[in-house]
Every structure is written in structure tokens, then in C-alpha cells.
Amino acid sequence: MLFRAKLSFTNVRPKDMNVTIRNAVADDLDALVALNGEVQSIHVSPFPDVFRETEQAALRGWFEEQMANASTTVLVCVEKERAVAYLIMRTSRRDPHLFCCARNCAYVDQACVAAEFRRRGVASSSTARSRASS
């Protein structure tokens, strides 16, 4: 059976910050789109043959789908009511095979931190919290 991480963390304080890490909600969609656009442009610039700019309405719909997906958790990191980062974690069930038993697996699909909040422990805190739930 797949599991869905239901996370709600308060008082998570990466380096000199008062950050709350929680599940994303519909009110976070604009911030998620903006954060993704910031990071996506970093990918597109050096690798335009691999990555492309995304249309905001399509990206908003994609985030809505991720938030509704039972095997996906979208976390948002908030400081002073501003979303400064997000993390998308996916879970799946791996069937048994010759080398391994059946098991639930989780992995980080995307991690995004606003430029001015990088190198302050935000991503590390969110990945630590997502690991705790898997």
C-alpha cells in the first residue's frame, strides 16, 4: 500500500530564520509557480536543448495535480508569511525481485529555494523533515 506523507511542522528554524515547513495548499499556488520559474530559468539558460520555459497557467495546473496526487507530497517553507522554498517528494511501492523485498520508497523529485534564502539551511531542513515521514 502506498503511503502519503501528511506533514505539518512548526518552529523549524534553519540558520537565523523562523521558517515553518508545511504541506502546500491552494493559496500557495502563485508562490510555487514563481519559485519554480526562478529555478527553471537557471536550468533553461545553460541547457535550452533539454529544458524549456513553462507557461504559468500550465505550471499552476501541474502543481494542483501534484498536490492532489496521493503518492506525492508538496511541502512549502514559509518565513514571515512568504513562501521561500518548496520540496516535492514522491512515494512508490516497489515489487519484490531477485535482490530485494517489496518495499515503499520515497524520493525528492524537486527542491527549490528562492535565491536570497539559499545556503541558509532551508532545503536541508525540508529534506530532513520529508525523510522523517517516509
The CATH number that applies at residue 93 is 3.40.630.30
Question: Does the residue 1 lie in any domain?
Answer: no
pLDDT: which is higher, 117 or 129: 117
Question: Does the residue 90 lie in any domain?
Answer: yes
Contacts of 70 (CB under 8 A, 6+ apart): 2, 4
pLDDT: which is higher, 6 or 56: 56
Residue 13 has pLDDT above 50, yes or no: no
19-39 tens-digit pLDDT: 788 999 999 999 999 999 988
CB burial readout 50-68, b (16+ within 10 A) else e: eeeebeeeebbeebeebbe
- Say what the pLDDT of residue 19 is: 78
CA distance 97 to 107: 20
Question: Does the residue 3 lie in any domain?
Answer: no
- Domain with 33, as residue range(s), is 8-133
- Say what the pLDDT of residue 126 is: 52
Task: Note the pTM of the prediction, 2 decimals.
Answer: 0.73
- Say what the pLDDT of residue 113 is: 86
Query: H/E element holding 38?
Result: helix 29-44
As a whole number, the mean pLDDT across the chain is 81
Total number of domains constituting the chain? 1
Question: Does the residue 93 lie in any domain?
Answer: yes
Residue type, 7: L
Question: Does the residue 2 lie in any domain?
Answer: no
Question: Does the residue 35 lie in any domain?
Answer: yes
The mean pLDDT of 65-92, rounded to a whole number, is 92
Under DSSP, the state recorded for 116 is G
Dihedral sign for Cα atoms in the order 115, 116, 120, 124? negative
Q: Which has the minimum average pLDDT: 10-14, 55-59, 66-70, 78-82?
A: 10-14
